[in-house]
Chains A and B, each alone.
Chain A
Amino acid sequence: MSFSDFSTEGFACRVVDLKKEFVLKSETVRALRGVTFDVPTGDYVAIMGPSGSGKSTLLNLLGCLDQPTSGSLWLGDDDVAKMTDDQLADIRSRRIGFVFQAYNLIQQLTVVENIQVPLFYQGKPLSREQHQRCLDLANMVGLGERLDHRPTQLSGGQQQRVAIARSLINDPFFILADEPTGNLDSRTTEEILQLFERLNNEGRTIILVTHEDEVSKRAKRVIRLKDGRLQWDRTNSQEVRDEAARYAIENMPVEV
């Protein structure tokens, strides 16, 4: 991009005319046909769309797991669309916090070690401050007492909270959450969504991919994709968000 008024100041990321094509044997699949939107720092965006809409492709591009066919993706002052595999890996370890549907913790590592993994790949030995930060994050997500537990010893909600702590360890530009509540019951879903809300109120930028309306209504803003294009991009009013939160709590199954 070369316009003089283009600035990355105040944005977690800027997506400019992003296209992605997959060349299969007989045909070319155009998964993304030119998507443009901005995510200002501190925003809470839900990306929605039916399957085949390009949602996963966009997620992979935002997560720097894949490279677009054309277009730009600005993370800070860098256009990651033009980066090599190694540079992308570096970006992932420093600027992006992943939260997955299947938690994706490493089974043989403890809670605290799982939280440290992104730091491990920044190429420097762990400092005392970083170690303290791990403990603080574990405390923040309520797992301060279970630092030495393995993922198999934790419930789904607890595992997802470890994953959220892990996503924050590198102080990322944004948290990229891919169906973070997809494997959870409504009570734990509520816990996680409240945790996201708290983080957002503290100034964290969150990009959340979901297909559940109840979840998307909790975000500040919803982007809907269809057939590889942006269908609409609207802001949820505070009333909608509060209503959704209240509805979720009221309809929570009663604990027997």
Chain B
Amino acid sequence: MMGNAMQYLMDISFSEVVNRVFWFFGAILAVWFVNIVINHPSAVMLGIKNLWLHPMRSILTVLGIFVGVASVIWLLAISKGIGDEVQRQIENLGADTIMIRTVKPPSEKLSSQGLTPYGLTREEYDMLSATVPTIRSAIPIREMRRQFQFKDRKLDGRLVGCTPEYAEVTKLEIDRGHFITDAENFSRDSHCVLSAKVAEKLFPYEDPIGQRIYMPENQDFYLIVGVLKPKGATAAVGGSMAAQDFSNDVYIPIRTLQQRIGDTIMTMRSGSREGEIIELNQITLRCRDVNDVKKTAELVSTALSSHEKMEDISVVVPLELLEQAKTTKYMFMVLAAMIASISLLVGGIGIMNIMLATVTERTREIGIRRALGAKRRDIIRQFLVETSVLSLTGGITGILFGLLCGPAVSAARSLANSWFEKQMMDLPAVVRTVEPSIVPESITGAFLISLAVGLIFGIYPAIRAAKMSPIEALRHE
């Protein structure tokens, strides 16, 4: 039910509906206000003059609207920024791909004696690539933590064994040299490709192409044949929450990895030996058509159902993630807008409060004006102009401040990075890297809402002022 509603909001473009409603009321409000400015400029001047009699009071009232408008713009911009970032990361995985990941099974499923092999096998890879009709290509991937060394420079990173298609699927771009070729894979060459950061760290002065890096764990040398361009993180896949970070990667042909390192990896950890036997960490399937993705994913899950018992694989479909992320983004933005609206509401109540006080304070003035010929609507107009001036000032300054969202967030981030470096590193990458993206509707919306808040919360005090009998008002001390 809830899902359907969200789907509906997404599909008929939620923003379009909001836009239409805004423009409808906005047009009415704008016509009213422009009419007053053109036909009663003296009323506007008078309003400003009256507000200026209590500068502190007026500024504080304006501040309420200012905060409301700015927070609408900020919260929407930040939540959209986060949503866009997540969406971009998922899109980077490729909407036409299906990823089957090996995950470490729960400890009770592993035998306590010796090492149990788990995860995807090369046999399954061959089976999938040979039998699933809708796929264009299948890429086997093996990953492990390794130390890389050149001369005395060392770097901990990730060694990835893969095939040439890997570059295309994960959108890796080659800077110099070339990515791993089929020939290198076939002949199990000890060649490698470095990511931009690894190249920069290990070869700050030299040209990496043609050099060899050393992996101490396997006492092996690999000839560098290519260097990649820098690349951002993509969304997390598999069990870990962390986004996939490609910055510390070194790529070698998967057949080379299989021959040189093998399936069994032993590591020394706090005195005891730990190990794992895994043939493949991941198989990435690319479908011929995006529309085939869901069917193919089902087929693959069925084909690999023997893993259900061990719980040692997970199937990740970025397309589904993308849809979820879009829904989440909209929910997030709606939530943000609601929270921000509360502050606008509070600002509106502030206006109403101050206008009620003003009406009481100026009862006598109202009486004088009525005696001298002011009609009820003149009095209403006078008070509405004052509330409009308050709320418009708050609205315009709030929008200006709202537009500073981007620079302000990056300034705040660089401050936080220098003061709380460690805490910042613990935050999810999405939060660390978010770039607020201002929603254009939020500006028109916030502006119109601020005007509307001024009018809605101003109308009651104004009517109260106009309803007073001039005789009573004149008698008021």
Task: Determine if A127 is an interface residue (Cβ-Cβ < 8 Å).
Answer: no
Most chain B CB atoms below 10 A, which of A63, A89, A107: A89
Task: Determine if B369 is an interface residue (Cβ-Cβ < 8 Å).
Answer: yes
Chain A residue at smallest Cβ distance from B49: A108
Q: Known contacts A65-B471, A104-B474, A108-B49; is A98 also within 8 Å of B365 by CB?
A: no
Contact B373 A118 (CB under 8 A): yes
Nearest Cβ distance between residue A38 and chain B, in whole angstroms? 24
Task: Determine if A66 is an interface residue (Cβ-Cβ < 8 Å).
Answer: yes
Chain B residue at smallest Cβ distance from A120: B42
Q: Known contacts A60-B471, A120-B42, A121-B378; is A90 also within 8 Å of B53 by CB?
A: no
Number of interface residues of B (CB under 8 A): 22
Contact A104 B373 (CB under 8 A): no
Contact A65 B49 (CB under 8 A): no
Task: Determine if B458 is an interface residue (Cβ-Cβ < 8 Å).
Answer: no
Task: Determine if B372 is an interface residue (Cβ-Cβ < 8 Å).
Answer: yes
B375: chain A residues within 8 A (beta carbon)? 85-86, 89-90, 121
Chain A residue at smallest Cβ distance from B378: A121
Contact A121 B365 (CB under 8 A): no
A-B contact count (CB 8 A): 63
Chain A residue at smallest Cβ distance from B52: A108
Contact of B369 among A60, A106, A122, A170 (CB under 8 A): A106
Contact A104 B470 (CB under 8 A): no
Question: What CA separation (Å) do A108 and B361 show in the bound complex?
Answer: 13
Which label, helix, strand, loop or mixed, suits the secondary structure of the B interface? helix
Contact of A104 among B42, B364, B469 (CB under 8 A): B364
Contact B471 A98 (CB under 8 A): no
Contact of A98 among B50, B372, B374, B469 (CB under 8 A): B372
B469: chain A residues within 8 A (beta carbon)? 65-66
Nearest Cβ distance between residue B161 and chain A, in whole angstroms? 82
Question: What CA separation (Å) do A118 and B368 show in the bound complex?
Answer: 10
B369: chain A residues within 8 A (beta carbon)? 106, 117, 121
Task: Determine if B329 is an interface residue (Cβ-Cβ < 8 Å).
Answer: no
Q: Known contacts A106-B369, A108-B50; is A85 also within 8 Å of B471 by CB?
A: no
Contact B471 A118 (CB under 8 A): no
Contact A106 B371 (CB under 8 A): no
Q: Mark B residues whose CB is within 8 Å of A.
A: 42, 49-50, 53, 364-365, 367-378, 469-471, 474
Q: Mark A residues whose CB is within 8 Å of B.
A: 60, 63, 65-66, 85-86, 89-90, 92-94, 98, 100, 104-108, 117-118, 120-122, 125, 166, 170
Closest 8 pairs (CB-CB, A-B): A93-B373, A121-B373, A89-B375, A92-B373, A104-B368, A118-B372, A121-B374, A65-B470
